[in-house]
Amino acid sequence: MNISVNDQMGDFDGVIIPFYENLLATSVLKLPLEALKESKKFEGKIGTTYKLTTITDGKLNEVVLLGLGEVDKLTSRKVLNAFGSAYRVMKKQKVEQVVLNIQGLEKEEFLAKAATEAVVMADYKFDLKTKEKEEKDIKLELITSVNMDVIQESFVLAESNIIGRDLVNQPANLMNPITLSEKVIELGEEKGFDVEVLELKHIESLKMDAFLSVAKASAVEPRFIIMRYKGNPESDDILGYVGKGLTYDSGGLSIKPTNSMVDMKSDMGGSAAVIGAMCAIADMKLKTNVVSVVAACENMIAGNSYRPGDIIGSMGGKSIFIGNTDAEGRLTLIDAMHYIVTRENVKQVIDIATLTGAAIHCTGNAASVAISNNDDFYNKVDESFNKSGEQIWRMPIFDEYKELIKHEEADLTNTAGSPGTITAGLFIGEFTGDLPWVHIDIAGTAFAKKEEGILSKGATGVGVRPLYYLAKK
């Protein structure tokens, strides 16, 4: 998408005009605003739109009015989705040159940043159809007195979110552990972060037995991907990110039903979050240090598959009873977690994963679920999610839950039972040492069933922008 910034309107065949509620008196065009307000067809309520066509000098112009609601009740989430919805309405009109006029509105800088992020993200659509001719890109001109440099961060964040979406949306026959690692190397070279990829023999030498147990039934070898960004070489403070990287999950011998397998390319949503965040962090040259790791593999079925009833090892030395081979993500994550804690000198760590179906029962698709061992660190994560317009909800950690992950024949079990979202997180927490830690379960938020607001159907890129804001802090 082609976005430019100007302080006055040029040529256009489409215009988006936002209004605050009860402030519909003025406009850049001659529009029946008072009549619309009296008829209650458009009053400026948050997220509402009204589409009409005007004729100026014999030229048709498509107009979308957008409601922003009350100025003192603005939130990032509401405004992003409002701009995204308005852009979608405009895009359906097959326009080529669109202006989005926010000049003179209260909180103009906030709106300029949100509008930039929203239209870029709402413009994204994934498909691999054979196209006879390329669709023309819409040229969008943001009319504002805010300088382009101010909104550059928003553009980078939106593009990084789309990188995350695109990684997940690729079907598993095209995006596997090897091709994922190759893509990360490309991104590192392009954006400016270091990438190291460990192949099978190196992974075996590290005794990542839990990770390898999941990976061994696939014809595609696993890869352990390490991303390092040093924006502040004088500091030894390093933030650690661990992303779940199951490029496909059949469930293993505890096989999923077909309907549940169709979208299992989405099981790498956590890895996409940390990769997209690293792209944004490096692109914006943040003065901070971040290391991200991904244990990338497929969970498949073969004669050498790990089995329910097996007891396996782990890089951290703990033995694990396998109650279900479809509880595989936590096995890959514990070896990744032990590695980053013991080998990369991180001071705080987050893991993010499409981990449990139980998370959907906790918060649905509206919010990601979290647990943490540190209030201060969690509060920073929570603030970062709020700033991005994404939502997160913290669950409790009770002593009774910690007892559930123990097993009479092994140190731990990978199927601790209800509350499944919490016990799955606590299983990973056994390998974080004493570090401040937050676990984020994005099973309900990583994939959207329909387009809405800034989201297109498919991968959402959840976590990319919050993880960037956390690093920026």
Burial class (CB in 10 A: 0-12, 13-18, 19+), 38: exposed
**Which residues have C-beta within 8 Å of that of residue 302, sequence separation ≥ 6?**
216, 217, 218
129 among known catalytic residues: no
Q: Considering 230, 256, 347, 472, which one is annotated as catalytic?
A: 256
Q: Which of 98, 83, 86, 91 is nearest to 14 (CA)?
A: 98
Q: Which of 263, 235, 229 is nearest to 249 (CA)?
A: 263
Cβ(79)–Cβ(18) below 8 Å:
no
| Helix/strand/coil for 48 | coil
Residue 92: CB atoms within 10 Å:
11
40 among known catalytic residues: no
Strand partners for 4: 141
CA distances, 408 to each of 308, 316, 321, 404, 423 (Å):
15, 19, 9, 11, 17
**Single-letter amino acid, residue 34:** E
Q: What angle do CA 448, 451, 456 make, to 5 degrees?
A: 75
Cβ(166)–Cβ(154) below 8 Å:
no
| Helix/strand/coil for 17 | strand
Total residues belonging to the chain = 473
Q: Considering 77, 223, 330, 465, which one is annotated as catalytic?
A: 330
Q: Which of 121, 152, 231 is nearest to 460 (CA)?
A: 121
Q: How far is it between the farthest Cα atoms of the chain? A: 82
Cβ(208)–Cβ(315) below 8 Å:
yes
Cβ(165)–Cβ(124) below 8 Å:
yes
| Helix/strand/coil for 109 | helix
Residue 449 to residue 414: CA distance in whole angstroms: 29
Q: What angle do CA 236, 239, 240 make, to 5 degrees?
A: 125
Burial class (CB in 10 A: 0-12, 13-18, 19+), 206: middle
Asked if omega into 171 is within 30° of 0 (cis), the reply is no
**Which active-site residues does the annotation give?**
256, 330
